[in-house]
Amino acid sequence: MSGTQRQIRHGSGIIENNVQLTEQTFRLTLTIEGTLPTINAGQFVMLRLPNRTDPLLGRPFAIYRVSENGWETVLEVIYLTVGKMTERLAECRSGDPLDFWTPLGNGFSPTKAKHLIMVAGGIGQTPFLMFAEKYCHTDSRCTLLYGTRNIDRAVGVEDFRNLGVDVHLATDDGSAGYHGSVTDLISKVYQPEESTQILCCGPRPMLHSAFRIARQLHLPCEVSLETSMSCGLGICFGCVVQCRCGKDDENVSKTDNKTDHENIDYRRTCLDGPVFDAYRLCW
Ligand SMILES: Cc1cc2nc3c(=O)[nH]c(=O)nc-3n(C[C@H](O)[C@H](O)[C@H](O)COP(=O)(O)OP(=O)(O)OC[C@H]3O[C@@H](n4cnc5c(N)ncnc54)[C@H](O)[C@@H]3O)c2cc1C
Ligand code: FES
């Protein structure tokens, strides 16, 4: 989406609900007056606590769900409390204001694949609900492979099942589903006779592992990065990642190691991502 005119709305919304789902996970609904520019699945919102300088900067969150009722828009975010902003956000109440700017980033590419395998780790399921909303009603089959530390960390599973997504859980402690790494499930659900697209979001080691499997199976693979950000607008260059940036297919990754002749460059996660072709990232 970089290089083209982007429509971004900045403003202040009102928290409608901020509900605790598990020990560290919350579902926040933000009511925004009027409409937002069209949001693609995988795009994100920057949220900032108003009238404060600590934390000073906003933080990025995947847009989990969005709905409009004519004169207002309701934006839904699911977040895990990990630090200053998210812990303070968890203390916010219905009626509190919250600054936002959105939609940001590129979102997932359109696909005609027959089987869409979404691989999520930790809080990485969040960008996939809108993607499933878009594709579950087509003739594509949607599978969510969702790995968390334990069953208490698995959030939103029913939202996916209600859309007809086939959900497979994996937990580190064996409290639900497969006991082990979520990426082990890719080869179990993959059907070679179906054109398949892999999409991943979660911690970087999990993304790398999913990419290695996709490459072994010769499958297209997009990953959504959770890189830390400052502006979210492409201005500060605080979110760059190394990419193989040539235009030709020779530049896509056949190994994980960079080679001297490769065309390596930097890309801003907030502008050129957060979704990247996994074959073009420097792992
Ligand atoms: C495009 C995008 C979408 C995201 N979507 C969601 C979402 O839907 N739900 C959600 O809960 N989180 C999401 N995140 C991550 C979220 O932005 C961070 O958790 C948040 O910025 C943490 O802010 P904080 O002030 O609470 O923590 P900080 O005080 O900034 O950090 C606390 C600790 O967490 C670590 N940390 C912070 N951010 C990250 C990160 N991105 N990856 C790994 N470690 C980190 C820090 O190194 C530090 O140790 C997303 C990130 C991106 C880039
Ligand atoms: S966060 Fe500022 S350029 Fe990406």
- Ligand 2, atom nearest to 240 Cα: 4
CB of 235 closer than 6 angstroms to any ligand 2 atom:
yes
Backbone angles phi, psi at 167, to 5 degrees: -100, 130
User: Which among 248, 247, 239 has a CA at the least distance from the CA of 272?
Assistant: 239
Q: Which ligand is nearest to the CA of 58?
A: 1
For a ligand 1 pocket test, name from 25, 45, 66, 82 the mutation site with the most ligand atoms within 8 angstroms of its C-beta: 82
Closest Cα to residue 207, out of 119, 143, 116, 145?
Answer: 119
Tell me: the pLDDT tens digits for 191-216? 999 999 999 999 999 999 999 999 99
The pLDDT of residue 2: 47
Between 2.40.30.10, 3.40.50.150, 1.10.3720.10, 1.25.40.10, what CATH number should domain 9-104 receive?
Answer: 2.40.30.10
Q: What are phi and psi of 187, to 5 degrees?
A: -70, -20
* Predicted confidence (pLDDT) per residue in 13-61, tens digit: 999 999 999 989 999 999 999 999 999 999 999 999 998 899 999 999 9
The phi and psi torsions of 210 (rounded to 5 degrees) equal: -65, -40
The residue ranking higher by pLDDT, 3 or 143, is 143
Q: What is the pLDDT of residues 112-168, one digit of tens each?
A: 999 999 999 999 999 999 999 999 877 889 999 999 999 999 999 999 999 999 999
Establish how many alpha carbons lie within 13 A of residue 131's alpha carbon, considering only the half-sphere containing its beta carbon: 35
Which of 61, 80, 159 has most ligand 1 atoms within 8 Å of CB, for mutation?
Answer: 61
* Domain(s) of CATH 2.40.30.10: residues in the chain: 9-104
- Sheet with 178-179: list strands edge to edge: 178-179, 166-171, 141-148, 115-121, 196-201, 221-224, 275-277
What is the position in ligand 2's atom list of the atom closest to the CA of 230? 1
pLDDT (tens digit per residue) in 119-128 = 999 999 999 9
Q: How far apart are CA 107 and CA 256, in angstroms?
A: 24
At residue 254, does pLDDT exceed 90? no
Q: What is the pLDDT of residue 137?
A: 78
- CATH code at 115-280: 3.40.50.80
pLDDT of the residue at 1: 44
Asked if 25 and 82 touch (Cβ cutoff 8 Å), the reply is: no
Amino acid at 173: D
| pLDDT for the residue numbered 252 | 63
CB of 237 sitting under 6 A from ligand 2: yes
pLDDT in tens, 61-95: 999 999 998 899 999 999 999 999 999 999 999 99
- Listed in order, the ranges of the chain carrying CATH 3.40.50.80 are 115-280
Closest to 189 (Cα-Cα) out of 207, 211, 171, 167: 167
Protein residue with its CA nearest to atom 52 in ligand 1: 226
For ligand 1, atom 7: residue with the closest CA: 61
